[in-house]
């Protein structure tokens, strides 16, 4: 009889502890769901990219440079409903950003443009990295969206500067002068090195 009573008490204890565990798990799940909803809302609100060309030069590139056009189209499409959709979109944006290094129009294939494209790619990759973490730092994601927009504006303004600079007529002889300044074209020194051990005659 004592055995049955102790077994019955043990069963009641186990059922109570399981019920308490379920309630604790349910409360934890609700807390996680609320946190994820807040993260989603913050990212959803901040996910606004400058996907339209800001000047005439960028507009021309949009028509002629397919990688630039594809990148702007990709960032212009806003994902909906879930964090997973934002994660897929950030991966797609990252892939399109990397392709910006391909087929840069010859007029813009210059160090100042390539460096800005590099910075843009780095920030897009960072966005993709942060949004794929188990605990998404929504403040860093929203900050990076702003940084990517700044880099887009900087890149487009630099393109505009290059076009404006090309319009300025060169003075007579300026092209020759610039070629003389180019150290890559300099004539190598073919004279043999001076031997330091030779005594000087005075």
C-alpha–C-alpha distance, residues 113 and 103, integer Å: 13
Does residue 22 sit within a domain? yes
Does residue 174 sit within a domain? no
Does residue 67 sit within a domain? yes
Q: What is the pLDDT of residues 42-99, one digit of tens each?
A: 888 988 888 777 777 777 777 778 888 888 889 888 888 888 888 999 999 999 999 9
Does residue 54 sit within a domain? yes
What is the rounded average pLDDT of the residues 102-127? 88
- pLDDT (0 to 100) of residue 52: 77
Q: Is 154 exposed, middle or buried (0-12, 13-18, 19+ CB in 10 A)?
A: middle
C-alpha–C-alpha distance, residues 136 and 133, integer Å: 5
Evaluate whether 130 touches 136 at the Cβ level (below 8 Å): yes
Does residue 36 sit within a domain? yes
**Which of 3-12, 98-107, 119-128 is least confident?**
3-12
Does residue 178 sit within a domain? no
Query: Which domain range does residue 81 map to?
Result: 13-165
Does residue 186 sit within a domain? no
Mean of the per-residue pLDDT values of the chain: 79
Entry pTM: 0.69
Does residue 62 sit within a domain? yes
Give how many domains the chain has, as a whole number. 1
Q: What is the pLDDT of residues 7-19, one digit of tens each?
A: 666 556 655 665 6
C-alpha–C-alpha distance, residues 62 and 52, integer Å: 9
- pLDDT (0 to 100) of residue 200: 56
């Amino acid at each position: 009889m004592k055995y049955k009573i102790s077994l019955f008490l043990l069963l009641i204890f186990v059922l109570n502890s399981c019920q308490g565990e379920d309630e604790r798990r349910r409360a934890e799940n609700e807390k996680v769901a609320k946190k994820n909803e807040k993260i989603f809302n913050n990212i959803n609100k901040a996910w606004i990219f400058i996907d339209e060309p800001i000047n005439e030069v960028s507009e021309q590139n949009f028509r002629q440079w397919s990688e630039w056009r594809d990148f702007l189209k990709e960032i212009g499409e806003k994902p909906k409903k879930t964090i997973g959709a934002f994660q897929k979109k950030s991966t797609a944006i990252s892939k399109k950003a990397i392709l910006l290094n391909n087929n840069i129009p010859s007029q813009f294939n210059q160090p100042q443009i390539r460096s800005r494209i590099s910075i843009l790619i780095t920030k897009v990759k960072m966005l993709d990295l942060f949004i794929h973490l188990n605990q998404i730092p929504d403040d860093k994601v929203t900050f990076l969206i702003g940084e990517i927009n700044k880099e887009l504006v900087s890149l487009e303004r630099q393109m505009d500067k290059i076009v404006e600079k090309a319009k300025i007529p060169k003075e007579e002889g300026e092209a020759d002068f610039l070629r003389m300044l180019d150290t890559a074209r300099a004539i190598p020194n073919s004279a043999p090195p001076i031997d330091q051990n030779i005594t000087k005659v005075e």
